[in-house]
Structure 1
Amino acid sequence: MAGPDFDTEIKQLQATMTTIGQVLDLDGMRAEIADLGEQVAAPDLWDDQDNATRVTGRLSDLQGQVDRFSELSGRIDDLAIMVELSREEDDADSLAEAERELRKVQTAVESLEVRTLLSGEYDAREAIVTIRSGAGGVDAADFAEMLMRMYTRWAERNKFPVEVFDVSYAEEAGIKSAEFAIHSPYAYGTLSVEVGTHRLVRISPFDNQGRRQTSFAAVEVVPQLEQTDEIEIDENEVRTDVFRSGGPGGQSVNTTDSAVRLTHIPTGIVVSCQNEKSQLQNKAAAMIVLKAKLLARKKAEEAALKKDLKGDVAASWGDQMRNYVLNPYQIVKDLRTGFEVGNPTSVFDGEIDGFLEAGIRWRRGSERDAAAADA
């Protein structure tokens, strides 16, 4: 079997990196890094903690993006040198190693290229994820917990901090719902393609007769808001309930009524938080989530209005979108992109980058098609 055409493939990688660099606007990013660096060096930076957190977070994000681009460009240059030396020495082992490195670099470049597709208004934000069990009884509750673990494991693999706001445990097993934040730039843009109904098919571990069970869970992702976002809430339209925090099986994890549930009366949106120690802290955290959900609802209503005006009757983004089949065969398949993996265990352990990248490319393609149709 013939080996790769190193010269052609390396040139393609270099051309792709040039395009990525233009899209990222590296010169602009470096100029912003210099400006933010001056702000960080100011002795009064932490007099305004919210601004300091924003500045240092933005600086870390930009520096990380520039470093990632530079490191990958360096790997491509090193690969070209490795191939040249291997050819001069006629070293088959070194050429084989170069081929392995080529494939790794190609994967890394494809992943970086996907980041450039995240250019939506809120794509750069952190994400708030909500998971709810659907039809399927105890299996659905168990499935919802499996999905929560899948996303938190994905975050752990990428060293993204996870903050759990609320978990409502089911009586027998699993969870009724969960709400948590993933604190990383572009977490929203990346995970927003996970929105929709997820379907699990397996032999139920809760059925004494060993029958196959189909169960469902819903995933919702909204962007974390910033202080500059304009979303006003009339306090008279929010009902606040306090209750005692609890864990699996009703086990008490707090002896005071510190957990908080907020209900936005006009929309019926309900948000709970029991992660913090004090009632005030829980209310503040719950309000952050409520505002994020209200903003997401506002944007969805605006998008729906645009579709109505266009007469668009196509199925909307966010319906049933992925099947997880454990019996009679094993496969996880995305129904929109066609991307599939034959190892569900690895998927549930957080290896979902392939699904995320395929979903982001699919969404961008759908947006281009819609724009062309409007033209």
Structure 2
Amino acid sequence: MHPDVSADLAELETTLRTVEQVLDVEELRRRIDELEHQASDPDLWNDQDHAQQVTSQLSHAQGELRRVEALRQRLEDLPVLYELAEGEEGDAHTAALADADAERETLRSDIEAMEVRTLLSGEYDQRDALVNIRAGAGGVDAADWAEMLMRMYIRWADKHGYGVEVYDTSYAEEAGIKSATFAIKAPYTYGTLSVEMGTHRLVRISPFDNQGRRQTSFAEVEVLPVVETTDHIDIDENDVRVDVYRSSGPGGQSVNTTDSAVRLTHVPTGIVVTCQNEKSQLQNKVSAMRVLQAKLLERKRQEERAEMDALKGDGGSSWGNQMRSYVLHPYQMVKDLRTEFEVNNPSGVLDGDIDGFLEAGIRWRMREEQKQ
């Protein structure tokens, strides 16, 4: 085996061993046994919320164990692939060597992705994500851009097999959306997507400008952790004004026919949330209340962070604001302004291929936190 390959395999071994230590594979196996025991209890489903929590934790733990065991197996198989390649001659040798090199590169990126997951240790990182997108400056182009971003995150979720629940979509008059709120349901999606928070900027030839001029549009992305019962975000009914109205925009037969859409206004803070994607007013109210709780939880966290920053004499973090540029004209590039990570394939990124940006963002956040 070539010395460079041996050194590379040794490096992969070190990284994977660190991942296994952080995940504590033996503890993970013990936790799975315990959760399987709870899941097999016939009385479990008497408490629906608790049962869903147990089954969700079990499937997440099993998935983590499967992933890390598969990486270990592939790493142990790699030297065998190189040995087999060395036993071949001519074209067969070249092809087998190329296959082994390709597997080594794929394995490296898979181990690095798993390593990034181990960096998600924040208080809410393991939660589902609640994503809110709002069109910013740029008129109809900005509304179109907001819809493109919504599609990007939903495509990313689809590629990973994560569930998506859309709570509200406010359509713009000519094209696109004014705003949208949706949940991405899988463990650690909040920790992973929280680095997407901020202003996303699009530069392109406007499809809405008959003179074909270049247009810059902006959209805001907000990412919140989905609230759980343990968060104790109590909302006084008297503090909430409830308005009902007819849903607007594209929809099925039941849309636009009844006053099923719900708008909640939290009077003390002025926070407004809407939900119009369920068929019944009651379902919309429940979903809207969930979003309001998430926003109030985030507000509480921001206040606590501001207090900590004041105590540390820190002028606030560099989060939010303009964080990524997507340029479609005069050249093709997507560049993250915090991490310097960039790719020259905007169409792939807008089709949900954002894992490179997410990994770079998580590593960047880790470095920023270590500086403080």
Q: TM-score range by the shorter chain?
A: over 0.9
Q: Distance in 2 between matches of 1:140 and 1:179?
A: 16
Amino acid at match of 1:213: Q
**Maintained 8 Å contact 1:196/1:321:** yes
Q: CA deviation at 1:322?
A: 0.4
1:337 corresponds in structure 2 to 339
- Bigger shift: residues 140-149 or 203-212: 203-212
Helix, strand or coil for the counterpart of 1:11? helix
1:354 is matched with: 356
State how far apart, in whole Å, the 2-side matches of 1:71 and 1:106 are. 13
Q: Does the residue aligned with 2:220 lie in a helix, a strand or coil?
A: strand
SS at match of 2:366: helix
Partners of 1:251 and 1:335 lie apart in 2 by: 44
- The aligned residue for residue 257 of structure 2 is 255
Contact 2:309 2:316 in 1 (8 A): no
Runs of 4+ residues deviating >4 angstroms? 249-252
Structure 1 residue 209, shift from structure 2 partner: 1.4
> Which position in structure 2 is the counterpart of 1:80?
79
Report if the CA contact (8 A) 2:130-2:226 is conserved. Answer: yes
- Give the unaligned 5+ runs of structure 2: none
- SS state at 2:32 partner: helix
- What is the CA distance between 1:258 and its match in structure 2? 1.2
Aligned equivalent of 2:69: 70
Shift of 1:313: 2.7
**CA offsets 1:329-365 (integer angstroms, 9 cap, x no match):** 1111000000001111111100000000000000001
- Number of paired residues? 369
- The answer as to whether partners of 1:140 and 1:215 remain within 8 angstroms in 2 is yes
Matching residue of 1:373: none
AA aligned opposite 2:34: D
CA distance in 1, matches of 2:58, 2:144: 40
Aligned to 2:369: 367
Query: What letter is aligned with 1:39?
Result: Q
Separation in 2, partners of 1:96, 1:65: 30
DSSP-derived class of the 2:230 partner: coil
Provide the C-alpha distance between the structure 2 equivalents of 1:65 and 1:263, rounded to a whole number of angstroms.
40
Contact 1:245 1:252 in 2 (8 A): no
Provide, for residues 19-45 of structure 1, a one-character-per-residue CA deviation record: whole Å limited to 9, x for no partner.
Answer: 101111111111111111011101111
- 1:130 match: 132
Q: C-alpha separation between the residues in 1 aligned to 2:332 and 2:64? A: 37
CA distance in 2, matches of 1:344, 1:85: 39
**Aligned partner of 2:200: which letter?**
H
Question: Conserved in 1, the CA contact under 8 Å of 2:239 and 2:268?
Answer: yes
Match of 1:202 in 2: 204
Aligned to 1:37: 36
Question: Conserved in 1, the CA contact under 8 Å of 2:193 and 2:358?
Answer: yes
SS at match of 1:168: strand
Secondary structure of the corresponding residue to residue 56 of structure 1? helix
Q: How does 1:269-308 map to 2 (within 5 A)?
A: 269-308=271-310
CA contact (8 A) 2:25 2:65 kept: yes
Show the counterpart of 2:112.
Answer: 110
Q: Percent identity?
A: 63
Q: Deviations over 1:80-111 (max 9, x none)?
A: 21112322446332222111110010010010
Partner SS, residue 198 of structure 1: strand
Q: Distance in 2 between matches of 1:61 and 1:242?
A: 38
8 Å CA contact 1:171–1:249 kept in 2: the answer is no
- SS of equivalent to 2:304: helix
2:193 paired residue among 191, 210, 228: 191
RMSD: 1.7
Aligned partner of residue 110 in structure 1, secondary structure: helix
- State the distance in 1 between where 2:201 and 2:252 align: 28
1:206-285 equivalences under 5 Å are 206-248=208-250, 253-285=255-287
Whether the aligned pair in 1 keeps the contact of 2:145 and 2:219 (CA below 8 Å) is yes
Q: State the TM-score, normalized to the length of structure 2.
A: 0.96
State the shift of 1:156 in Å.
0.6
Partners of 2:315 and 2:192 in 1: how far apart? 26
Deviation at 1:4, TM superposition (A): 7.2
- The answer to whether the 8 A contact 2:165-2:184 is kept is yes
Distance 2:251 2:20 in 1: 52
AA matched with 1:174: G
Q: Would you say 1:148 and 2:150 are equivalent positions?
A: yes
Distance verdict in 2 for CA 1:214–1:3, change over 3 Å: farther
Q: Quick check: 2:152–2:349 contact (8 Å CA) kept in 1? A: yes
